[in-house]
Amino acid sequence: MLQHHKLLNGSFEPAGQPFETPVTDPVKRVIVIGGGYAGIAAANALRTYGIEVVVLEGRQNIGGRTQTVSLAGANAEAGGGWIHAPIGNPLSELADFLSLARRAFPLSGIFANLKLVSHMDRVLDKFERDQIMALADVIEEELIDSASLYAPSQTIAELIDLKLREIPDKDLREWISFVLTTGFEADLACSASDISVMNYTGDAGYQGGDDCIIDGYSAMLNLLAKGGQIHCDSVVSEIVQTPTEITVRCTNGHIEHGSHVLLSVPLGVLKAGSIKFSPALSTQKRFAIERLGFGAFEKLIFQFENAFWRTVDNDVSGILIKGHPVFPYWVDVSVSAGRPTLAAHVSGPQALALAKLDNDEAFDMAMSALSSACGGVPAVPVEWHRTNWVTDPFSRGAYTHLPPSVSQQEIHNLSKPEGRLLFAGEATSTERFGYVDGAYVSGLREARRLTGGRPVKISISA
C-alpha cells in the first residue's frame, strides 16, 4: 500500500493548473451540467472561491464514467479504474489530500503475466508466451517512441502490419498481431484501424506505473461533491443564451438561470445531439464534435470464491483468448477488489458486438469462454456486474480518441468557450483525453477561467 497523508487542512491549491483567457462577463452564478470528475471538480473549486454554483446531473447519482460497484461487499470499478502514471499526476495529489490510500497495480505487470490461449483452447507454454510478449513489448515501445515521426493519417493497425512483416514465422506473427491489437484497442476503446498514431504524441510529463484507489473512484468524487448543490435526475434538453444571462431547461420542467454554464457531458452525448443550443454552436465546434472519435469499452466483472484461473507455478494476471469474437481479454482485478475477481475488458468492435447481446446471452458466452480457457469453471460467480456505457444515454460510449488525420487541434477547438457557455471533460484535454485526470484538470481549467485567471483551490466539507 502506498503512503498517503493525513488530512490536516480543509483546502489546497492543486499544482499545474492550466491557464486560459478568463471570461469577460461578470461571473455571478454558474450552472454545471454533468456530475463526473470535470463537473464536480469545477463546482468544488468555484464554491471554494465563493461563486454560487449548481450541478445538474441526468443520472440518479453522480460519477459520470467512473462508477465503483459493490460485489458481495468488495469494490470493483465499472468505469475508470486506474490512476495512470501516478507520479506527478494531479489525481495522486488529490487522493493524498483526501487521505484516500492508493495501491500499486501496474498494467505492465498484468500484460507480462497473461495466460495465452489459442482458438483451439490450447494454453501456450511459458517459452511460447514469453517469446510472444517480449517481441510485442519491443514493437509497442518502438511504435510509441517514434509516433511523432509518422503522418497523422497513419493508423496503429497499419503500423503493426508494417512491423510484423519482419517476422517470417506466420503463427508467431499472428500471435503478436493479436496481442498488440488487443492492447491498443483496449487503450483507445476502438478498432486499431481507427486509431491515429497521433494519439501517442502527447505527453503531460507524468511518470510511474499505475495505481488504484483502494476505496474506489466513487469515494474520491463523493468527497469532492460533499456540500455542493447537486440536482440528479435532471436531464438537460436546452441551453439558451442571451446578452445578459444563460438559461438551462430540463426534461422534467426544471429551469436554471445563471451568468455562465459549464457543459461537462461526454463527447458521445454531444454527438447524439440530445441537447439543443440557442444560438446554435459554431461551425468550428460542431466540426470538432463530428471529427473526434468516441469509442466503446465495456466490462463484465465476475467475483468468485476462489481464483481458479491461477496456478501454483504461474500467478496468472489475466487471460488472452485468441480469436474470441467478444471476450478475448480478461484481467485479474483482485488487487483492487480485495477478493477473487476477474473482469472481461471488452473494447472497440467486441464492445459493439456485446451491446447486441442480452444479459443471459452475455453471461453464457463469457462463462463458456472462461471455462474453455481454464479447463472448466469450478463454480458459478458469487456475483457479477455488466456495464452498458454504449447504450447509456448519459455517456453514449467510453472515451475520446483521435481518428486518422484528426489532430489535437480539434480537442482545443472543442474546449473553447462560446459566449457564456464553457466546455470541460476529458474530450477537451489536449494532453490527457481519455483519462480521468484529464477530466479533473479540465474542470480546474474552466473554474480558473471563471475566476479571472487566478489559481483555484479544492476544499472538503466536514
Above 60 in pLDDT, residue 5?
A: no
Task: Give me the pLDDT at residue 114, please.
Answer: 92
Task: Say which residues have a Cβ less than 8 Å from residue 168's Cβ, sequence separation at least 6.
Answer: none
Residue 412, SS3? Answer: helix
Task: Give me the pLDDT at residue 85, please.
Answer: 95
Q: What gap in Å lies between CA 212 and CA 315, rounded to an integer?
A: 20
- Biggest CA–CA distance in the chain, Å, is 70
Helix (H) or strand (E) segment spanning residue 294: strand 293-294
Task: Give me the pLDDT at residue 4, please.
Answer: 43
Mean pLDDT of 439-456: 97
Q: Which domains does the chain have, with CATH numbers?
A: 11-104+209-293+402-459 (3.50.50.60), 107-204+297-386 (3.90.660.10)
pTM to 2 decimal places: 0.96
Report H helices in 98-205. Answer: 107-112, 126-145, 156-164, 170-188
Task: Give me the pLDDT at residue 6, please.
Answer: 45
Above 90 in pLDDT, residue 210?
A: yes
Q: What gap in Å lies between CA 141 and CA 134, rounded to an integer?
A: 11
Above 60 in pLDDT, residue 447?
A: yes
Mean pLDDT of 438-458: 97
Q: What gap in Å lies between CA 174 and CA 226, rounded to an integer?
A: 51
Task: Say which residues have a Cβ less than 8 Å from residue 366's Cβ, sequence separation at least 6.
Answer: 300, 302, 326, 327, 344
> pLDDT per residue over 93-112, tens digit each?
999 999 999 999 998 888 88
Q: What gap in Å lies between CA 371 and CA 304, rounded to an integer?
A: 13
Above 50 in pLDDT, residue 238?
A: yes
Task: Say which residues have a Cβ less than 8 Å from residue 109's Cβ, sequence separation at least 6.
Answer: 209, 317
CA pseudo-torsion sign 217, 221, 224, 227? negative
- pLDDT-derived band of residue 2, with 50, 70 and 90 as boundaries? very low
Q: What gap in Å lies between CA 361 and CA 297, rounded to an integer?
A: 18
Task: Give me the pLDDT at residue 311, please.
Answer: 73
Please tell me the least confidently modeled range out of 34-43, 288-297, 370-379. Answer: 370-379
Task: Give me the pLDDT at residue 119, please.
Answer: 77
Mean of the per-residue pLDDT values of the chain: 94
